[in-house]
Structures are given as C-alpha cells and as structure tokens.
Amino acid sequence: MAARLSSLLAPQHIALSLQGTKRTAALSEVAKLLESDPNVVNFHGFYNELLARERLDTTCLGNGIALPHARTEHVKKIVIAVGRSDTGVHFENSNQNVRLLFVLGTPKSNPGDYLMLVGSLCRLIKEAPQREALLTAATPEAFIATVKELEDKILGPEK
C-alpha cells in the first residue's frame, strides 16, 4: 500500500498564499518548496520535467485543483508540495482558475504508488465541503491535519 498523502506532506512544503497568478510563476513558487528536499536529487532536472509535462497537457483536475507532476529519475521517493491561492492561478491551457496546486514528483521506477496517490487525492477533493476545508485551513499544520481527517473519513483509519 502506498503511503498516504498526509504522511508525505510537510509544513515547509505547503504555501498557503501563493503570490504568482500566472501558471508558470505559481508552479515555480510551489516546486521551489521542494528544492532542499533530500529526496530531490536534481531540482533543475525535476523542475524542467515538471514544466515539460505541464506543456504536454493540462494537469487541472477541475474544481480549482491542479496536479502538476513528473515521473522522473531526479527524485528518490515521492515528494509533494502544495500551493494555495486565494485569488486563483489562471491555467490558460484549460482556461481554469486553480486555487490548489499539488506538485508531485515520483520516481520513474514506481508508477503504482503514484497512481494510488493520485486516486486517493481525487477522492479527497471530489466533494465541495472537503475542498472547502482544504481552502480554509489556517496553517500548513492545519492543512495536513485536514488531509489526514479526510483520509480517515474516506479511506478508513490508518492500520
């Protein structure tokens, strides 16, 4: 079983008030939170692959959520950073206003964990009240606690 989203989140990897309102600026702002993560072997390589993937096709999931991601040899294990924007970030390639960005880096060697993580993220953000809880969490710690609460509710308590 893949690690839960809540166990991969760290307060220093969560920015609750993004400055960037354009897709690339916001993406850069969130990705940079992972720059000093020991699991990111080559940040510039990871970031370039993130941008290349984003150019390929939109990573908007709808409902103001985007999941920019890269499967890359530049990370040793799954890394994730979160950015939240009160005003929204314009993703011109899908013409959507995004308020939550989950930037994900996963090792090329492990597609299964990545797919499970994306699946559980999609379940967490499906319902409006759940998205609202993430959009109103006051601190990075509260954001993580909210994710954990939602996971326990949706996926059942951790074994």
Asked if residue 34 lies in contact with residue 13, where contact means CB atoms within 8 angstroms, the answer is: yes
Residues with catalytic function:
69
φ and ψ of 7, to 5 deg: -80, -15
